[in-house]
Chain A
Amino acid sequence: MSNGHMTDLRTLAPGLADPAHDAQQLFRAVLDATSRPGRIVSLPAAPAGPGTPSAAATAYLLTLADRDTPVWLADAFDRPEVRDFLRFHAGAPIVTKRAEAVFAVLASATPQPFEGFNLGSDAYPDRSATLIVEVPDLRGGPTRQWHGPGIDGRAAVAVAGLAEDFWQDWAANHTLFPCGVDIVFTARTELCALPRSVAVEV
């Protein structure tokens, strides 16, 4: 694109085809995933989006982001076509400071994944950020035991592509409860949620 300030409508990827109904279906899948952590939920209605991040990450933002929710993009996704897509379809401001983000899109290799995001406060823990973490696969990684609200006993989850210290950082995040960030892992058209209430055995 020659002009960074103009959205080129000829190359802009389409958003939700049927906004009210597609957003409803996507939200229910997200709600299902969030209320049953560790379950891999498929988003068949997810549009392809700008190509990167995944269709699932894009669908999550199209469903929940708007002018009230600043979005932070990791370097891997901070590209003109992604910014244009989110600005045009969601109207979401793109921010460069992690602390200002309501939603953040991270790659599995993004360094210091939890550093600097809004954790909420003891009085208002709901104000914390939600991190969308793009991973190569939701299956096939090292298996870890998750337990907490939404899980009947324990769930064996094998998200691939995460560094070992990611889970130590998560343990620190979990101990902040009720504060702390919430995570949604995304790959292709699937997602899996990890709310702050869930403990992961390292």
Chain B
Amino acid sequence: MADDAYNYAYLDEQTKRMIRRAILKAVAVPGYQVPFGGREMPLPYGWGTGGIQVTAAIIGRDDTLKVIDQGADDTTNAVSIRRFFAKVAEVATTTRTDEATVIQTRHRVPETPLREGQILVFQVPIPEPLRMLEPRETETRTLHALSEYGVMQVSLYESIARHGRISKGYNYPVMVNGRYIMSPSPIPKFDNPKLDRSPALQLYGAGREKRIYAVPPYTPVKSLDFDDHPFEIETWEQCCALCGSKESFLDEMIVDDDGKHLFVCSDTDYCERRRTLPEAAE
């Protein structure tokens, strides 16, 4: 049972309507950051307050919710958010990507391909992709309005000039539907190709900055690059020490005081499925 002291899904109905209207406008203008009246949530900024407000505005009793933090279902942030919605929204929860209707994520896109009808909710710390290049909101808003993105191309070029390649490994900027440059949130660039023409709906919520943006299904999402320095994703020489995957995003783990280390899948559900179901490992 939900706690009767709170409205269903924690937020009051007026707030949900305001967030819902922002979500619909975000879907209508893919990649554009819609300002919304962000509320105080019962956890600090940086812990997913934006994602939680988006999830609270969309979730219903028929949903099955999955929450991941850096790919894992069993980390503190994921566990606390999953419990929060189980309590305030009477919602079923799962760790299985294929069973979830709503997936709230911090910093990863699941390895298991998403399908039509699923909604992926991203927790976003800094929604403005140009913020590190231009600190003034009035300026970045104008740059987006004019589609004036030279400053971003210059920053990528400077990275090549300095390091010989585009050194950005996460939060790698993307162009959505040929119009808006968007921050995909701090997912590794390994996950960027999964955003492109995904059959699932992507919603992004930034709590501190009070912005919501979206990528509808089947929308082109292109990682920025140059003709002579095309976008590339990370690769590993190792495979996962637990499931043997050569295709997934790997985390390096230090396992003893002598610096012995191994690589394992960041996506715990994907890794576990491959270990328990041999056919999934094919």
**9-residue interface stretch from B24-32, B163-171, B226-234, B272-280:** B24-32
Contact A31 B58 (CB under 8 A): yes
Beyond contacts A126-B35, A150-B216, A182-B25: 19 other A-B pairs, Cβ-Cβ < 8 A, are A20-B9, A21-B8, A24-B60, A27-B58, A30-B24, A31-B23, A35-B214, A35-B217, A36-B216, A63-B20, A65-B17, A126-B29, A126-B34, A130-B24, A148-B177, A150-B218, A177-B179, A178-B180, A197-B216
In the bound complex, how far is the Cα of B219 from the Cα of A153, in angstroms?
10
Given A19-B13, A149-B218, A178-B179, decide whether A123 and B142 contact each other with a Cβ distance below 8 A. yes
A145-157: CB near B (< 8 Å → 1, else 0) gives: 0001111110000
Contact A149 B58 (CB under 8 A): no
- Is A78 interfacial (CB-CB < 8 Å)? no
- Chain B: residues with CB nearer than 8 A to chain A? 7-9, 13-14, 16-18, 20-30, 32, 34-35, 57-62, 116-117, 141-142, 144-146, 177, 179-180, 199, 201, 214-219
- Is A54 interfacial (CB-CB < 8 Å)? no
Instruction: Kindly list chain A residues whose C-beta atoms are within 8 Å of the C-beta of B7.
Output: 20
Contact A28 B34 (CB under 8 A): no
Instruction: Kindly list chain A residues whose C-beta atoms are within 8 Å of the C-beta of B215.
Output: 149
Instruction: Kindly list chain A residues whose C-beta atoms are within 8 Å of the C-beta of B35.
Output: 124, 126
Instruction: Kindly list chain B residues whose C-beta atoms are within 8 Å of the C-beta of A152.
Output: 199, 217-218
- Chain A: residues with CB nearer than 8 A to chain B? 19-21, 23-25, 27-28, 30-32, 34-36, 63-66, 68-69, 102, 121-126, 128, 130, 148-153, 177-178, 182, 195-197
Instruction: Kindly list chain B residues whose C-beta atoms are within 8 Å of the C-beta of A150.
Output: 27, 216-219
A–B pairs, 29, beta carbons within 8 Å = A20-B7, A24-B8, A24-B9, A24-B16, A27-B20, A30-B24, A31-B20, A31-B23, A36-B116, A63-B17, A63-B20, A64-B20, A64-B21, A64-B24, A65-B17, A68-B18, A124-B35, A126-B22, A126-B26, A126-B32, A150-B27, A150-B216, A150-B217, A151-B218, A153-B218, A177-B179, A178-B29, A182-B25, A196-B28
Contact A35 B61 (CB under 8 A): no
Contact A178 B32 (CB under 8 A): yes
Contact A197 B13 (CB under 8 A): no
